[in-house]
A = this chain, B = another copy of it.
Amino acid sequence: MSREEKEFVREITPRHQDYSQWYIDVILKTQLVDYSPVKGCMVIRPYGYGLWENMQQGLDRRLKATGHKNGYFPLFIPESLLQKEAEHVEGFAPEVAWVTHAGSEKLAERLVVRPTSETIICEMYSKWIQSWRDLPVLINQWCNVVRWEKVTRPFLRTSEFLWQEGHTAHRNEEEAEEETLKILEVYRDFVENDLAVPVLTGRKTESEKFAGALRTYSIEALMSDGKALQAGTSHNLGEHFARVFDITYLDSDGSLKYVWQTSWGVSTRLIGAIIMVHGDDRGLVLPPKVAPVQVILIPIAPKKVRETVMPRAAAIFAELTAAGLRAEMDDREEYSPGWKFNEWEMKGVPLRVEVGPRDLEAGQAVLARRDSGEKETVPLSGLVQRVQQLMNEIQADMLEKARRFREENTYYTDDFEEFKKIIEEKRGFIVSRWCGDPDCEQAVKEETKATIRCLPFDQNAGPGKCLRCNRESDRQAYFARAY
Q: Are B111 and A81 in contact (CB under 8 A)?
A: no
Which one, B71, B104, B144, contacts A144 given CB within 8 A? B144
Q: Are A98 and B102 in contact (CB under 8 A)?
A: yes
B residues near A349, Cβ cutoff 8 Å: none
Stretch of A119-127, A180-188, A299-307, A374-382 at the chain-chain interface: A119-127
Which one, B42, B103, B162, contacts A93 given CB within 8 A? B103
Q: Are A160 and B74 in contact (CB under 8 A)?
A: yes
Which one, B78, B97, B144, contacts A101 given CB within 8 A? B97
A44 at the interface (CB under 8 A from B): yes
Q: Are A111 and B38 in contact (CB under 8 A)?
A: yes
Q: In angstroms, how far is the closest chain B Cβ from the Cβ of A317? A: 16
Stretch of A45-53, A419-427, A470-478 at the chain-chain interface: A45-53
Count, chain A residues at interface, CB 8 A: 54
Q: Are B97 and A99 in contact (CB under 8 A)?
A: yes
B residues near A95, Cβ cutoff 8 Å: 102-103
Q: In angstroms, how far is the closest chain B Cβ from the Cβ of A273? A: 18
B-facing residues in A75-112 (Cβ within 8 Å): 75-78, 81, 93-104, 111
Instruction: Give the CA-CA distance A93 to B127 in the complex, in Å.
Output: 35
B-facing residues in A189-222 (Cβ within 8 Å): none
Which one, B45, B50, B75, B97, contacts A160 given CB within 8 A? B75
A254 at the interface (CB under 8 A from B): no
Q: Are A97 and B93 in contact (CB under 8 A)?
A: no
Q: Are B102 and A36 in contact (CB under 8 A)?
A: no
Instruction: Give the CA-CA distance A420 to B36 in the complex, in Å.
Output: 51
B residues near A133, Cβ cutoff 8 Å: 334
Q: Are B76 and A160 in contact (CB under 8 A)?
A: yes
Q: Interface on A for B, CB 8 Å cutoff? A: 34, 36-38, 41-46, 48-50, 52-53, 69-78, 81, 93-104, 111, 113, 120, 123-124, 127-128, 133, 139, 143-144, 146, 148, 160, 162, 334
CB<8 Å pairs between A and B, sample of 23: A37-B81, A38-B74, A41-B74, A41-B75, A43-B71, A44-B71, A46-B69, A46-B71, A46-B139, A49-B70, A49-B72, A50-B70, A52-B72, A53-B70, A74-B160, A76-B160, A94-B103, A98-B102, A99-B99, A113-B113, A133-B334, A143-B144, A144-B144
